Amino acid sequence: MLLSAGVDLQTVLELSAQVSNKKSKLITIYENILAQIIQGSSLAEAMQATKQFSNFDSYSILIGENTGELAQVFNKLTMYYNKRIAQKRKITSALSYPVIVLLASVGAIYFMLKFVVPMFSDTLTRFGGELPPLTKFIITLSHNISSYILILTIVLGTGYLLYYRNKEKENVQQTVSAVILKIPVLGKIIYKTYLLQFTQAMDLLLNSKVNIVESIDLTQKMIQFYPLTKALKNIKKDLLLGDFFYHSMEKQSFFDQSMITLIKIGEEVNQLDKIFVQLSKQYESELEYQFNILFTILEPIMILFLAIMVAIILIAMYLPMFKLGTVIH
């Protein structure tokens, strides 16, 4: 906003520091950037020196400085991050209720297994006789629930630790991403989310007058999802060898045919920047629709899950009593 109004960069940084929260680390970042600029660094170099910005950010700013369109680049970055933040907020907001229901379900089931079932168990053992298999299973589960939770926690913790230590390995990234994409419903949403991030990044870079090869390279560094980063790496190699963008995309299994067709048209008429704007809007609309469907279905499924689990536990506890009443009758 300040740059668009014609305010010089040094004053912009000083004013930005003044209006920031006194406890915010942004003040330190502004001061560090300003100090670097006074020493002769460019804004992009000063941003990189703080280690608080991605290559994507600093390179976009560098392009703005070199072309004299720094204010326009900041506007585009603002729009880009506003969309990303809005998407995250929408997902967080939509997930909050199902997560609360899930936690309440797990808590209710744990309470019943830990405290309610043992009371029934003591009563049932006094009656003697053979207990139904379902009742035996629930009672055994109740007696060992703490051990099972401990084992599950250890297994999950060990699995996460192993993943964290090996997440940079290509085979680990390939396996994890393949599993994620095969998750019913959610896998398709994750796939579309990364396509949206790709189109948004390309929209920003191409409209900032970054050439296609550098745009692919920066997008590859920014998006950390193995199938997409591998595809972009291969595309970059093909482009350097003189191949067409759309033709190189056809060789990669990650991209859908509708995207490739539109990019082919955009490349033929030299309007790739406009094509990526449209693709970004398209995937944004599709994702919003799929999210709405997912969260509409998720809520009743969670409630149904809780109801079924509670019903199974109650049936298991009352089944021996019904059986005993039939015998007495």
**pLDDT tens, 49-89?**
888 888 778 877 887 887 788 888 888 888 888 887 887 88
pLDDT of residue 115: 83
Q: What is the mean pLDDT of the segment spanning 178-192?
A: 86
What band does 264 get if pLDDT is binned at 50, 70 and 90? very high
Total structural domains in the chain?
2
Query: In the prediction, which pLDDT does 14 show?
Result: 84
How many Cα atoms sit within 13 Å of 54 on the Cβ side? 13
| pLDDT score, position 231 | 93
Is residue 279 a part of any domain in this protein? yes
**Is 18 within a domain?**
yes
All residues at 6 or more sequence positions from 217 whose CB lies less than 8 Å from its CB, including other chains: 232, 236
Q: Hey, is 175 helix, strand or coil?
A: helix
Q: What is the CA radius of gyration of the chain?
A: 28
Question: Do 128 and 258 belong to one domain?
Answer: yes
208 & 128 share domain: yes
Same domain membership, residue 145 and residue 86: yes
Residue 196: inside a domain:
yes
% of the chain exceeding 70 in pLDDT? 95
Q: Which range marks the domain in which residue 21 is found?
A: 9-53
Q: Confirm whether 65 is domain-assigned.
A: no
Residue 270 located in a structural domain? yes
Token pair, residue 187, equals 């896998």
Spatial separation of the C-alpha atoms in residues 259 and 240, rounded to whole Å: 21
Is residue 179 domain-shared with residue 215, that is, in the same domain?
Answer: yes
Contacts of 110 (CB under 8 A, 6+ apart): 145, 149
Sign of the CA dihedral 229, 233, 239, 244? negative
Query: What is the reported pLDDT for 328?
Result: 46
Same domain, 48 and 147: no
In a domain, 62, yes or no: no
Q: What is the pLDDT of residues 274-310, one digit of tens each?
A: 999 899 889 888 888 888 787 778 778 888 888 888 8
* pLDDT score of 326: 53
Q: Give percent of the chain with pLDDT exceeding 90.
A: 12
pTM of the model: 0.74
Same domain, yes or no, for 175 and 283?
A: yes
pLDDT in tens, 194-238: 898 899 888 888 887 788 898 898 888 778 888 999 999 999 999
Same domain, 162 and 14: no
The pLDDT assigned to 205 comes to 82
Say if residue 27 is in the same domain as residue 80.
Answer: no
User: Considering the domain boundaries, does residue 152 fall inside one?
Assistant: yes
Q: Assess whether 42 and 100 both reside in one domain.
A: no
pLDDT of residue 223: 81
Average pLDDT over residues 107-134: 77
Per-residue pLDDT band for 329 (boundaries 50, 70, 90) equals very low
State the residue for tokens 């309470």.
111
User: Are both 140 and 48 inside the same structural domain?
Assistant: no
Does 154 share its domain with 37? no
For residue 66, being part of any structural domain is answered with no
Angle at 113 between CA 108 and CA 119, to 5 degrees: 120
Domain co-membership, 25 together with 161: no
Question: Over 80: is that where the pLDDT of 22 sits?
Answer: no
pLDDT, tens only, 313-325: 888 877 777 765 5
